[in-house]
Amino acid sequence: MSAASLPRAVVPGAGGRLLRWVGDDTALKRLLTARSWMIRAYFEARYLVPDPWRLATSEYERARAERTLAALGRRRYGTALEVGCGEGLFTSRLLALCDRIVAVDFSGLALRRARRRHAGDPRVRVRRLDVLHEDPDGAFDLVVCAELFYYMNRAQFESLAPRVARWVAPGGDLCLVHGTSVHDAAGLSEARGGGTGARALHDRFRRIPGLVVLRERRYPRYLITVLRREPPCG
């Protein structure tokens, strides 16, 4: 059995110390906004252990996923873009609402597991994409961004936000899910201007012309906002 397959608490020696260190993302988030290569290294280290955020086993994560789907309502989407798909666990849930999904991430380890999970399913296309520097092909009926914007500095976020809005097809929806707790709001460094929690992040999209809030759900530790891109007049 490899060190990567062992529970974090029992990995011996230097490997165990590394895994425990990268698991403490509260302390690392500010540091990792400094350079893109640091963010990449951080995520590859986190994914040395499968499902590092316990999406498959955490009751909190299960409830958040269900509430995200509920916030999208009863609409059926033709095409969806899941930004930061990780290992493709939420992708499986999203298929209940979508005919086709493009699931993107920049972690090689995560994408390897996502491709295995969805191998042979023609409804899912898993691809590597660094959204700070690249755009997906075309526009989508649904774009999902969950727990994404903490891991970038303010300039990167300000550049990315209007591009994300353009990935939504006219009449399509943008679903944002971000934390409101002190832990989760500590991403974009206060030294770079503050206002880093879910409310500030989601309000940035409210100010983008053509996006209107369809519904919003606030929970003790996170905020779910669904915005619709208005079709052109006439």
pLDDT at 74: 87
CATH architecture under which domain 59-229 falls? 3-Layer(aba) Sandwich (3.40)
pLDDT at 175: 98
> Alpha-carbon distance 172 to 181, whole Å?
29
Taking a C-beta distance cutoff of 8 angstroms, is the pair 96, 69 a contact? yes
> Alpha-carbon distance 90 to 125, whole Å?
14
Q: Which residue has the higher pLDDT, 121 or 190?
A: 121
pLDDT at 192: 37
Could you read off the pLDDT of 161-208 as tens digits, one per residue? 999 999 999 999 999 999 886 444 444 433 333 445 889 999 999 999
Using a 10 angstrom Cβ sphere, with 0-12 exposed, 13-18 middle and 19 or more buried, the burial of residue 216 is: middle
Residue spans of the domains in the chain: they are 3-46, 59-229
pLDDT at 180: 83
Could you read off the pLDDT of 2-44 as tens digits, one per residue? 333 334 444 556 655 555 554 555 555 555 555 566 777 888 8
> Alpha-carbon distance 97 to 160, whole Å?
26
Which SS3 state, helix, strand or coil, does residue 171 take?
Answer: strand
Taking a C-beta distance cutoff of 8 angstroms, is the pair 221, 179 a contact? yes
**Least confident among 27-36, 118-127, 203-212, 213-222:** 27-36
Could you read off the pLDDT of 129-160 as tens digits, one per residue? 999 999 999 999 999 999 998 788 888 999 99
